[in-house]
Chains A and B, each alone.
Chain A
Amino acid sequence: MGTVALILVAVFVLLLVLDVPIAVAIALATFVTVMAEGPDPSIVVAANMANGVNSFALLAIPFFILSGHLMGKGGMASRLIDFAATLVGFLPGGLAYVNTLTCMLFGSISGSAAAAVSSVGGFMIPEMNRKGYNREFNVAVTTTAATTGLLIPPSNIMIVYSVAAGSVSIAAMFMAGVIPGLLTGLFIMLVCGAFAIKNNYPREPRSSFKQILLSFKRAFLSLFLILVVIGGILIGIFTATEAAAIAVVYAFLLSVVFYREIKLKEIPDLLLQTGITTAVVMLLIGASSGMSWIMTMANIPQTVSDALLGLSDNPIVILLTINVLLLCVGTFMDMTPAVLIFTPIFWPVADSLGMHQVHFGIMMIANLCIGLCTPPVGTCLFIGCGVGKTSIAKVTKTMLPFFAAMIAALMVITYVPVVSLWLPVQTKQLKQADVEASTFMRSTSKSELESTDAAG
């Protein structure tokens, strides 16, 4: 058992360091390990490549990618920014709040943070530069705020988690992410406030009620998509995958027919980009399905779980250890492979601590969101620096207070289960009895739990 794990990790790390595509590294590490175990490795890995993605739930991913493309190009970002500006622009450092709020709104429409950084950042960063905001600050706000879109539904990474964890309801995950996403956004705004006061950033003119209504009217059709997707799932008109397909149709009608900001002849290229982006993610999922098979066969998750549980009797310490490990993983690894590889490894630990599977997923995603913004490997950071025309080295110092805010939010999400679990129970996406059966942090911090419950 020990040798099997060793072969797997050694081959995987070696290939990763050589900059072999991660999907290939996972597949070949699995290949070598299966060979050591006995069965024909070619067949095992090939079959998993196809069967691992043969899932209706995963179909929502290409749909949300496509609707994100359509919305991003279809003039939605500018409408949302105008709307957010009338709401929070009058505060000191108003544009920083506008930026954060737009990222959250955009995130709740598209399933991807990268799309939010490039679409919202493309407008907001130059504008903020012009108004005298510090360039690195502008990049830092956009980069971190964009990750809230992965907690606020819809969210592709939640679909990946649902599949990696077994059969977790996607609709329940979506609902569970809402409050943690808003909370993270709020913490980021607090940091913005501190910067604004320290640097005496300007205010925007206060909007009249009429102006607010007008900008809302312009943004309404974009915001209506939230209602279509989330409302459609909640009322039970369709499943998450179907909602995603409907979102594509809606975004198509809006951007091509109604706003006319995308021409019909641009559509094939959008479809191709969607197909390739989807394939990059799905190939990872297929490869991970094989790796998870051989890890299970060799009882690796159980071994890791026993080791972690042997560290301490205190659930707080064990969860802290998992969070620190995930933060380290996040600095180097992209979110999708991290979720796929570490969900089967860490879930048995969280399970034996009485954690709910939905709560664990939200914690893991909130954690890995931080990794998207940290050097050396961070998708959002790369795009943010590209859009904002600055370097990773320059922006990193300015990011530190924002990391602190995200880590603070992560701690609340980790140790206060109701933050994640309250909404899915209220919207009937989780069974009350199931949530009550998850005992994590219930005996240790009952008062805290009750106070949040009352606040929620």
Chain B
Amino acid sequence: RAQKASASGSHQMVLKLGHGLDTGHPVHKSMEFMKRRLEELSGGTVTMNIYPSSVLGSETQCIEQLQNGSLTMTKTSAAAMENFIPSMSAFGLPYLFRDSEHYWAVLNGEIGREMLSEGEKKFLHGLCYYDAGSRNFYTKDTPIHTPDDLKGLKIRVMSSATAIEMVKAMGGAPTPIPWGELYSALAQGTVDGAENNLPSFTSNKHYEVCKHFSFNGHTRVPDLLLMSSRAWDKLDPQVQQWVQQAADESSDFQRKLWQETTTESLEQAKAEGVTFYDVDTAAFASKVASMLENIEDSRVSELVKRISEVE
């Protein structure tokens, strides 16, 4: 390899980043932004190779690869992190955040920083958060105005214990189906609806089948950009500072991009004939209030309490 052979020893360092989103996704674009910034900051001595669309494995597999040192960086949902760091399950609880401002105040504040370093013992070094919006119900035939409308409806959920419990508590029948099979499952009526953020709803063309979208905003589960501690600890402090700065800037960049994408998605879905409903979220929240009150894990209940106290 030519780069390694250079006499000065100052060959270009390549950080390898694998994730599961496609190249049109705001998160991928923000990673490309981070790559450019990192090259600028380091004067071209540090760069990144980004591998999108799960070509290096699922979220769980990428996290394992960070732990055993075969991959440098990955993006993961806090939901997938639960299986490695139990306290992450706090972020998956319904109506934990009051709104988008509260959400970012927490993530950019003391709790957010604390959670980024929560995985340090397990070789997972958190760099920054990306916005994954709020998740909402959308259905094929009957609109969801109140929790009662969920009664008897099969709602596709991620295969996460928290998500299953939540839909059940609200009165629906949670049905875990792989994301790739969801479009045809909706089209054929295997499930009556699903729940996700607006950009995912639109980019996967679920509007072709589901014409009812309710802004009930049950969860806001952030994405995290992680680096293998094995790789991080080997970087000299100057490089660490460049990587952190580039990551922070990409987080701000992504937040703006996410807002724009959400607005565009809304317009597009409306043009496709989707009806959007503003609903009384308090009615939904009251159904799942017990999930926030009866938490077994003391660390999670402590986090929930502190998050509710953030202004």
Contacts and interface: CB of A to CB of B under 8 A. Distances in A.
Direct contact of A and B (CB under 8 A): yes
Interface of A: 3, 34, 39-40, 43-44, 47, 51, 56-57, 166-172, 233-239, 292-293, 296-297, 344, 428-429, 431, 433-434
A96 to B, nearest CB: 38
Contacts of A344: 55
A237 B16 CA distance: 42
Contact of B69 (A40, A237, A434): A40
Given A39-B69, A235-B188, A293-B56, A167 B180 contact: yes
A305 to B, nearest CB: 13
A167 B179 contact: yes
Contact of A57 (B51, B178, B189): B178
Which 6 A-B pairs rank lowest in CB-CB distance, beginning with the nearest? A236-B188, A167-B180, A39-B70, A236-B190, A236-B189, A428-B187
A306 B208 CA distance: 36
Interface residues of B, number: 29
B45 to A, nearest CB: 19
Contacts of B190: 236-239
Interface of B: 1, 16, 51, 53-58, 61, 64-65, 68-70, 177-181, 183-185, 187-190, 205, 208
B139 to A, nearest CB: 15
For A169, A292, A429, which residue has the most chain B Cβ atoms within 10 angstroms?
A169
A328 to B, nearest CB: 26
A236 B70 contact: no
B68 A431 contact: no
Given A431-B205, A431-B208, A43 B185 contact: no
A39 B68 contact: yes
Nearest to B181: A239
Nearest to A235: B188
B185 A433 contact: no
A429 B184 contact: yes
B185 A239 contact: yes
Given A40-B68, A235-B188, A433 B205 contact: yes
Given A166-B53, A296-B55, A43 B184 contact: no
17 contacts: A47-B65, A51-B57, A57-B178, A166-B53, A167-B54, A167-B180, A168-B180, A169-B184, A233-B188, A235-B188, A236-B187, A236-B188, A237-B190, A239-B177, A297-B51, A428-B184, A431-B183
Nearest to B58: A51
A237 B190 CA distance: 6
A349 B61 CA distance: 27
Given A169-B184, A239-B185, A296-B56, A47 B68 contact: yes
Contacts of B188: 233-236, 428
A19 B69 CA distance: 33
B70 to A, nearest CB: 4
Nearest to A234: B188
A236 B208 contact: no
Contact of B54 (A47, A166, A433): A166
B89 to A, nearest CB: 22
Contact of B16 (A167, A239, A297): A297
Nearest to A428: B187
B264 to A, nearest CB: 17
A220 to B, nearest CB: 25
Contacts of B178: 56-57, 167
